[in-house]
């Protein structure tokens, strides 16, 4: 399913589904995380939260003496690093988020891609770089996710997948959010939100007042050619456009503290396909 354009079909009165990816810097901040989870819990629509691990995995790796290597912001995941990210992402962070949501009267379940065969992936095969145990997504188990959502259970995804051969794979959280949004857009009216510490896509990465309200494909190419977009934002925008092109109804990028405004289109950067 990855990379394919959504097949044409007639939509009939679908439930709304919010898929929200939370950035690592919010996870690292106790006060901001607590506030965000209260806002997430108050959403009445069906909802899925996707998270990575923030700085905790790196900090634990340093304490254990496991060297961390990054290429273009992507973590090289050797066997020891995979153990660490599994403990941190699918263990402490995921279950801490779920417990917090339960305390806010939001019935949630924490999953990684191996649980219920939720997200199937394969080990990345790059012509030059060996990323180690990093996964690229092949399929989403929409039947499982729909059964949980239709019971009004909110899903909290840690950014790990599996290959159905017993191997866990570290997988980019932005990409998981995009692929889950694409798959479920066949069943729901999906809004995908990338929430993090910035106000949106900025012309000046250090100035939140320079947020770009809307970006369409031609504007995106123009901004990239003039190097007006911070390099770290480009993968997130690529994911956003992939989701929109497949049929996700709306994609918004913005500040986690403004979640309600992001949902209502009153803040952040909205991604358009025209």
Indicate whether 154 belongs to any domain.
yes
Indicate whether 144 belongs to any domain.
yes
Indicate whether 7 belongs to any domain.
no
CA distance 186 to 114: 22
Of 35-49, 190-204, 226-240, least confident by mean pLDDT is: 226-240
Q: Is residue 208's pLDDT more than 80?
A: yes
pLDDT at 24: 77
Indicate whether 10 belongs to any domain.
no
- Quote the number of domains for the chain: 1
User: Can you give the residue range of the structural domain that contains 264?
Assistant: 16-271
pLDDT at 273: 80
Indicate whether 2 belongs to any domain.
no
pLDDT at 73: 64
Indicate whether 89 belongs to any domain.
yes
Indicate whether 11 belongs to any domain.
no
Q: C-alpha angle 6/9/10, rounded to 5°?
A: 135
User: Tens digits of per-residue pLDDT, 85-108?
Assistant: 999 999 999 999 999 999 999 999
User: Tens digits of per-residue pLDDT, 214-246?
Assistant: 999 999 999 988 888 877 788 889 989 999 999
Q: Would you tell me how many other CB atoms lie within 10 Å of the CB of residue 8? A: 6
Decide the pairing of beta strands 108-111 and 154-158: parallel
Task: Specify the higher pLDDT residue, 53 or 185.
Answer: 185
Specify the pTM. 0.91
User: Tens digits of per-residue pLDDT, 52-78?
Assistant: 987 899 999 999 999 988 776 677 999
pLDDT at 74: 72
Indicate whether 159 belongs to any domain.
yes
The CATH number linked to 136 is 3.40.1160.10
């Amino acid at each position: 399913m990855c990379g394919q354009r959504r097949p044409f079909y007639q939509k009939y009165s679908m439930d709304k589904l919010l898929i929200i990816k939370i950035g690592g810097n919010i996870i690292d901040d106790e006060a901001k995380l607590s506030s965000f989870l209260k806002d997430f819990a108050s959403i009445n629509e069906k909802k899925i939260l996707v998270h990575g691990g923030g700085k905790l995995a790196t900090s634990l790796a340093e304490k254990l003496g496991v060297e961390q290597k990054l290429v273009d912001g992507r973590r090289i995941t050797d066997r020891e690093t995979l153990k660490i990210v599994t403990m941190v992402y699918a263990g402490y962070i995921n279950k801490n988020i779920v417990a917090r949501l339960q305390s806010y009267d939001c019935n949630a379940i924490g999953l990684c891609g191996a649980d219920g065969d939720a997200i199937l992936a394969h080990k990345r095969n790059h012509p030059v770089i060996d990323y180690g145990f990093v996964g690229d997504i092949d399929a989403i188990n929409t039947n499982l996710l729909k059964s949980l959502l239709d019971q009004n259970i909110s899903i909290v995804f840690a950014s790990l997948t599996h290959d159905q051969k017993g191997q866990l794979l570290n997988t980019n959280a932005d990409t998981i959010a995009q692929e889950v949004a694409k798959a479920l857009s066949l069943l729901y009216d999906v809004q995908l939100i990338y929430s993090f510490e910035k106000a949106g896509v900025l012309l000046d990465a250090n100035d939140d007042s320079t947020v770009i309200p809307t970006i369409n494909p031609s504007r995106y190419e123009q901004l990239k050619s003039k190097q007006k977009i911070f390099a770290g934002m480009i993968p997130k925008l690529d994911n956003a456009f992939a989701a929109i092109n497949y049929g996700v109804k709306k994609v918004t990028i913005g500040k986690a503290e403004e979640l309600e405004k992001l949902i209502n289109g009153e803040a952040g950067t909205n991604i358009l396909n025209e």
